[in-house]
Amino acid sequence: MRVRKFIASVWLDAVSFIVISIVFVVPFIFIFLTASKTRPEAALFQFSWPSKFQLIENLREVMIFGDYRMFRALWNSTILTVGSVTLIVLISALVAFVMQRRPDRMASVVSSFMLAGLVIPPAVVPTIFLLQWLGLYKTLLGMIMIEVAFTLPFATLILRAFMGTIPREIDEAAILDGASPLRVFFSIILPLLQPAIITVIVTSSVGIYNDFVGPLYFLPGSENVTAQLTLYSFISQFSSKWNLLFADVIIVTIPPLIMFIFFQRQLVSGMTKGAVKG
């Protein structure tokens, strides 16, 4: 019986490794090899070692393309991501605190709106009209507001589920000691939400940083280019530089990959604790 279980576990691990390799590792190797080739060789789309390895040269050309456009794009993406995630964490934590500690009819209505925000797709044209009316179209501030609105429902549900694991007696004891509701939230509840907050930060940051459609619709213009929109620089209808395009993909992929590697343990912890106990 033990031998059968061991063989079954080995087969399961082997199948999982093969699936992960096919889905994640093989495409990354293809991107790496293509980014290391010359332009004519990259256009062949062959899974082969480059005859002339020039990854560094391609990366350098991508960085200096368009008067160092990539640096401006990375800076805009950083401002967009940091600003959006800061507001998302603060607003969603406050909303989740009120919804979790006040299970009344109003909280149910707000929860229904949150679920609708996850299901109903965003409307592009009305959003553009609203941004133009507010004078925020083609601005990073307007794009930050859009990212906050799109990501807020998911973040609120994650924080609310995790907040259900915090005993209500902690709030009551602090209020009896004279603490105000805001003092209870910022001094007691918010530090206890660290695993869930890290989950929200990582998932929201990766999603906002990798957002391509949002900046394409709501943030046009060369000055407002983000990291994802730089992919348009090397592909066109009649002429495409595939080696530079894949080199661009490598540069754009590095920041979220580093964040995921450093915070993967906290990410899993924050999601599983809220899902099991909430």
Q: What pLDDT score was predicted for residue 60?
A: 93
Q: What pLDDT score was predicted for residue 278?
A: 41
Nearest to 110 by CA among 121, 93, 120, 98: 98
21 found inside a domain: no
6 found inside a domain: no
Alpha-carbon distance of 159 to 185, in angstroms, equals 13
Backbone Cα Rg of the chain: 23
Q: What pLDDT score was predicted for residue 181?
A: 79
Is the confidence at residue 212, as pLDDT, over 70? Answer: yes
Q: Which of 27-31, 99-103, 147-151, 214-218 has the lowest mean pLDDT?
A: 99-103
What rounded mean pLDDT belongs to the chain?
A: 82
* Mean pLDDT on 209-219: 89
Domain count within the chain:
1
Alpha-carbon distance of 49 to 141, in angstroms, equals 44
Q: What pLDDT score was predicted for residue 276?
A: 43
* Residue 44 neighbours by CB distance under 10 Å: 10
19 found inside a domain: no
Q: What pLDDT score was predicted for residue 66?
A: 79
For residue 251, give the CATH number of its domain: 1.10.3720.10
60 found inside a domain: no
pLDDT class of 80 with cuts at 50, 70, 90? very high
**Interval 105-123: pLDDT, tens:** 777 777 777 777 777 777 8
15 found inside a domain: no
- Longest Cα–Cα distance of the chain, Å, equals 74
Q: What pLDDT score was predicted for residue 237?
A: 66
194 found inside a domain: yes
pLDDT class of 277 with cuts at 50, 70, 90? very low
Q: ∠ at Cα 91 (90, 94), nearest 5°?
A: 90
48 found inside a domain: no
* Mean pLDDT on 130-151: 91
CA distances from 159 to 150, 202, 252 (A): 16, 13, 29
Q: What pLDDT score was predicted for residue 268?
A: 55
| Domain interval for residue 175 | 65-277
14 found inside a domain: no
**Interval 38-79: pLDDT, tens:** 888 888 888 888 888 898 999 999 999 878 889 999 999 999
Alpha-carbon distance of 276 to 278, in angstroms, equals 6
Q: Tell me the range of 119-123, 209-213, 239-243, 262-266 where mean pLDDT is highest.
A: 209-213
Tell me the pTM: 0.82
Q: What pLDDT score was predicted for residue 4?
A: 66
DSSP string, 121-159: PPPHHHHHHHHHHHT-TTSHHHHHHHHHHHHHHHHHHHH
